[in-house]
Amino acid sequence: MKFVGGLGGLLYGIDVGIIAGALPYLEATSGLNAGQISFVVAAVLLGTVISTLFAGLLADRIGRKPLMILSGALFAASIPVIALSHGYQPLILGRLCQGISAGLIGVAVPLYLAECLAPEDRGQGTAMFQWLLTIGIVAAALVGMYFSLRVEEVVKLGNPKLLFAYQDRAWRSIFWVSLPPGLLFVLGSLGVAESPRWLFRRGQAQRALEALLRSRSSEQARLELKEMERNQASERIKAAGRQGTERLLQRKYALPFLLACLILALNQTTGINSIIGYNTAVLIQSGLSDVQAHWGYIIFTMVQASATVVGMLLVDRKGRKFLLSLGTAGIVASLVMTAFLFHRSERHRVDVRHAIQTMVDGRTQLAFHFTPELERQWLNEAGHADLAGEPATLTVIYSYGGFSAVTPAALSNHPLASPVELNPSSCIPANKVLAFFSNPFGSLERARTAPLRIKHALITPLPSEQNGWLVALTLFAFVAFYALGPGICVWLALSELMPTRIRSNGMSVALVINEAVATFLAAIFLPTVGRYGYTTMFLLFAGFTVLYFVSVAFLLPETKGKTLEEIEASFSRAAGVQP
């Protein structure tokens, strides 16, 4: 049961991490424009949000076990659709299926584990989901590194056709590698029992007892069944005296529901998804080389997986509240230290916007190499000749009408680097749907005819390699504390805090809030970093995590060793409602 639940986490982690390794080769060989590539990446998030909205309803309607089987089957089906695709539509379809699978898994597996495992095993069992999720991210990073090294060898041969063919095979192979875990999850799900609490609420008490006996002693199983009976009898008495359906914000449900939503929202505001997604770019900006940054990311994922194991061993001994308090306190300290290290170089930033706007000279697009000569010229013109001659990075923020974009940081000391490109396809959304999410008040028609405007062009001295490894160490500490506390406990908070009657639908709503916060942070990350630097971004994450620490310290009850019915009764008493 724990292993099958963990496989669900593995698939979730692969969903999150697999595109990072495949994306460079997909961009090089697919022929898709920047807008289409962006939507291929975002399609997983869209599918996750859509399926999360309906996952709770499906879990109640068809059961937890069938939903797990369905989610695994969708993941397995998405792989050949993507890997065999030769066009935009099949790629979008496959990525949407992966996102839908991830959304279903994110609700079904933690829900199933919470309802099936005994109180003394629930923390460790649910933590298995998070641990294998991190293993999925590690696996995706290692697969990406393997193909990256192979592509580097092919580049040395100097044969463009051979390089194109290998890059095309590389991104398809990366997706094929993720197929076996999906098939294994489906087979494992076929062999587990249905959730005893779902069976009991469907009037199948005997089957519920049989399911309980799979992981409990006879005495404990019968005791939990009696608690379910008492809980259901109490609900029937109350239901007889009122009309209407159960609502998430009824008095007795409001506190646990809102608390679970708060925990999931604050979990994202630690910056975990952004730091994972942009890890390599952050490390390069901190002073590491490209290869060092990629190895740094692999170490980062391994630290996350290792710390998750420690959290698994402690969660049922020390409790959820202790680990969350320790984890959030450590995250704040790590983020503040990361911000301090970046501030040492970012305080010397110079804006050379006017120099690049002069280069535009009425054109609608611009491309140039950021060379040491250009760096020296622009810094001299800006009155900062003392900074000229040292390696630096350039980030350009530009716009067409109401839509803005940020270029990847260009290194002045990298002679083979791609040129800095400012063009409409990388800035203006491809359609009105994407335009609405980019800027609800922007006009797509006006943007297509608007001139190219340089909003900021920031030259930042490149820190030393020593500084880069110090930043890497602070990020390793960040992810270790995250994995030890929030990474383990967020899934427990999601599944344990929700009362039985609203658990599936409540989890869906809370996960949608989680995804919405993640989407918002992803949307502001690059613009904020481009304009204000990593210092501001990491301090912002630290500030939110302080709020997370306070919420845990004063609002979150300890649920270690309690049955789900006992947790529900304690919230009812806190709300002044008789359980």
pLDDT tens figures, 51-101: 887 887 888 888 888 998 999 899 999 999 999 988 888 888 998 898 888
Q: What share of the chain is helix, strand, coil (3-state, %, to 5)?
A: 75, 5, 20
Q: Are residue 116 and residue 31 in the same domain, yes or no?
A: yes
What local confidence, expressed as pLDDT, does residue 384 receive?
Answer: 85
Q: Are residue 177 and residue 210 in the same domain, yes or no?
A: no
Query: Which of 448, 463, 478 is the last residue in one of the domains?
Result: 463
Confidence class for position 504, pLDDT limits 50, 70, 90: low
> Domain for residue 256, yes or no?
no
Q: Are residue 203 and residue 153 in the same domain, yes or no?
A: no
Domain count, the chain: 3
Residue of 374 and 115 predicted with greater confidence: 374
Q: Are residue 76 and residue 207 in the same domain, yes or no?
A: no
Q: Is the confidence at residue 240, as pLDDT, over 60?
A: no
CATH number of the domain enclosing 49: 1.20.1250.20
Query: Which of 404, 434, 463 is the last residue in one of the domains?
Result: 463
Residue of 238 and 46 predicted with greater confidence: 46
> Domain for residue 459, yes or no?
yes
Query: CA 523, CA 512: separation in Å to the nearest integer?
Result: 16
CB-CB contact of 400 with 447 (8 Å)? yes
> Domain for residue 338, yes or no?
no
> Domain for residue 505, yes or no?
no
> Domain for residue 162, yes or no?
yes
Q: Are residue 168 and residue 101 in the same domain, yes or no?
A: yes
> Domain for residue 281, yes or no?
no
CB-CB contact of 329 with 183 (8 Å)? no
Per-chain mean pLDDT for the chain? 81
Q: Are residue 216 and residue 230 in the same domain, yes or no?
A: yes
Which pTM was predicted?
0.72
Q: Are residue 111 and residue 218 in the same domain, yes or no?
A: no
Q: Are residue 212 and residue 181 in the same domain, yes or no?
A: no
Supply the range of the domain harboring residue 372: 350-463
> Domain for residue 186, yes or no?
yes
Kindly state the average pLDDT of the residues 261-277: 85
pLDDT tens figures, 321-348: 889 999 999 999 999 999 999 998 888 8
Q: Are residue 136 and residue 45 in the same domain, yes or no?
A: yes
Q: Are residue 86 and residue 70 in the same domain, yes or no?
A: yes
Closest CA to 189 of 181, 197, 199: 181
The amino acid at residue 215 is S
Query: Which of 463, 495, 521 is the last residue in one of the domains?
Result: 463
> Domain for residue 13, yes or no?
yes
pLDDT tens figures, 511-559: 778 777 876 787 677 778 877 888 999 999 999 999 999 998 888 777 7
Q: Are residue 407 and residue 451 in the same domain, yes or no?
A: yes
What local confidence, expressed as pLDDT, does residue 453 receive?
Answer: 92
Closest CA to 301 of 451, 152, 462, 145: 145
Query: CA 558, CA 567: separation in Å to the nearest integer?
Result: 9
